[in-house]
Amino acid sequence: MDSFLKKVDFFKGNKPEDIVKEYGTPLYVYNEDIIRDRMHKVTQVIKKYPLTANYSIKANTNIHILKMGYEEGINADAMSPGEIEMLLKAGFESDRIFFVPNNVSREEVEYAVKKGIMTSLDSLDQLDLYGQVNPGGKCAVRLNPGVGAGHHEKVVTAGKKTKFGIAEEDVDKIFEIAKKHNLTIAGINQHVGSLYMDPEPFLKAVENFLRLAKKFEKLEFIDFGGGYGIPYHKLDDEQEFDMESFSKRFEVLLDKFVEEYGYAPLFKTEPGRYCVAEGAVLLGRVNATKHNSGKKYAGTDIGMNVLVRPSMYDSWHDVEIIRDNEVVSRDNLSEITVVGNICESGDILAKDRMLPEIKQGDLACLLDAGAYGYSMCSSYNSRPRPAEVLITKDGQVKQIRRRETIEDLMRLF
């Protein structure tokens, strides 16, 4: 594909230079149609049995995006009281929120109980703490099924080498603690890792989890976690995750389980990335280009504080170059490294990439920036966080978060 921006008319006729003239760079630009489409799709994965898609909001907590999710019928996962507050502010009722924290304090557990939010406990200690705070209550447990998968070791969240969940061999201890505090274990959840393009590992994890589920009686819900991938290499024609064939195979596994278990509990998934990643691009200004010892660099104002994924996980984001509001064609490519403005040698957005010629003053546009983009921003080097704008269904450009200012940073002292 020569240009994703052109293929989907990402800016809906708006000129990128007009947008950044008004809101500055770096700038996250969201497309409402794409986000709504993906959010709707995750609610349709299983039709035969009751299913809730819990959007894992750590991927993107912008309240305007959460509201879209609410309207599309998704529920949500929160990892912290802060995320719960974001969801409540966006209009989510408590029973549409699932709290899936790890290593939380007594105060945080009390907070969730007071708000009436179903909570999953991620260790035996935390289950015991929950029992002390809410004896006779109802909760869930996060299990570590002993296998994990994902695009980078830092996103593998199950298996013998990770901190998450309660190991299978400790299931009996779950029942002991539940009995001690008269707790009902209403649900179980897992999340084995992120960014599956191949459904195989996810389906294997589902199968394994359903085997574990049978150790629990009268479950109200079973939550399989998130992880659906998106094609980050779309300019090289990488294809979308095949939701349709995945759904069919998922349903076959559920059929078998329902028959053996005797009824269908509510099934849940926790997609984060899939809902929002493709719905945003990140625009930055190329402030300088140079050669260093024969290597070409394009220096932008998109520092690793604005998008940390490439430096944290070696993640790939396709880059398109915009000059005078036109996407520069990919007919003539040469190797170049695109970097940010942070004082770290690891401040690299795209290493040794084949890209069109880049000139000072161009706009660099990083694709698929909607998930774990803004939500992982920092103000490192005292660079304020960027603004976010939304291209609405009818093509308006609406600011959905203002740019942070130096005064915002000073306010904490």
Ligand X SMILES: Cc1ncc(COP(=O)(O)O)c(C=O)c1O
Distance CA 115, CA 79 (A): 15
What is d(CA 60, CA 405) in angstroms, rounded to the nearest whole number? Answer: 21
**Dihedral, CA of residue 311, residue 64, residue 226 and residue 269, to nearest 10:** 180
Among 32, 77, 320, 388, binds ligand X (CB under 6 A): 77
Helix axes 63-71, 81-89, angle to 10 degrees: 60
- Of 264-303, which residues contact ligand X (CB under 6 A)? 270-274
Q: How far is the CB of 263 from ligand X (least distance, A)?
A: 25
- Please state the closest distance from residue 194 (CB atom) to ligand X, in A: 3
Which of 19, 59, 87, 365 touches ligand X (CB under 6 A)? Answer: 59
194 binds ligand X (CB under 6 A): yes
Q: Are 374 and 60 in contact (CB under 8 A)?
A: yes
Among residues 225, 265, 303, 356, which is the contact residue for ligand X, using CB under 6 A?
225
Residues involved in catalysis: 343
Of 270 and 320, nearer to ligand X (C-beta) is 270
Count of C-beta atoms within a 10 Å radius of residue 294: 5
The helix, strand and coil proportions of the chain, stated in percent and rounded to the nearest 5, come to: 35, 25, 40
Of 81-89, 190-198, 230-238, 346-354, the segment contacting ligand X by CB under 6 A is 190-198
Q: Which of residues 121-180 bind ligand X (CB under 6 A)?
A: 157
Interface region with ligand X, contact rule CB under 6 A, candidates 67-75, 188-196, 287-295, 353-361: 188-196
Least Å distance, CB 206 to ligand X, is 14
Q: How far is the CB of 43 from ligand X (least distance, A)?
A: 14
Q: Of 216, 190, 215, give the one whose Cα is nearest residue 204.
A: 190
**How big is the site for ligand X, counted in residues (CB under 6 A)?**
17
Candidate residues 25, 31, 43, 56; the one interacting with ligand X per rule CB under 6 A: 56
Within a 10 A sphere around the Cβ of 2, how many other Cβ atoms? 12
Q: Is 152 or 215 the residue whose CB approaches ligand X more closely?
A: 152
Nearest residue (CB) to ligand X, 204 versus 330: 204
- Rounded to a whole number of angstroms, the CA Rg of the chain reads 22
The Cβ of residue 95 has, within 10 Å, a number of other Cβ atoms equal to 10
Using CA atoms in the order 243, 248, 253, 254, what is the torsion angle rounded to 10 degrees?
A: 90
For ligand X, the binding residues (CB under 6 A) are: 56, 59, 77, 100, 157, 191, 194-195, 225-228, 270-274
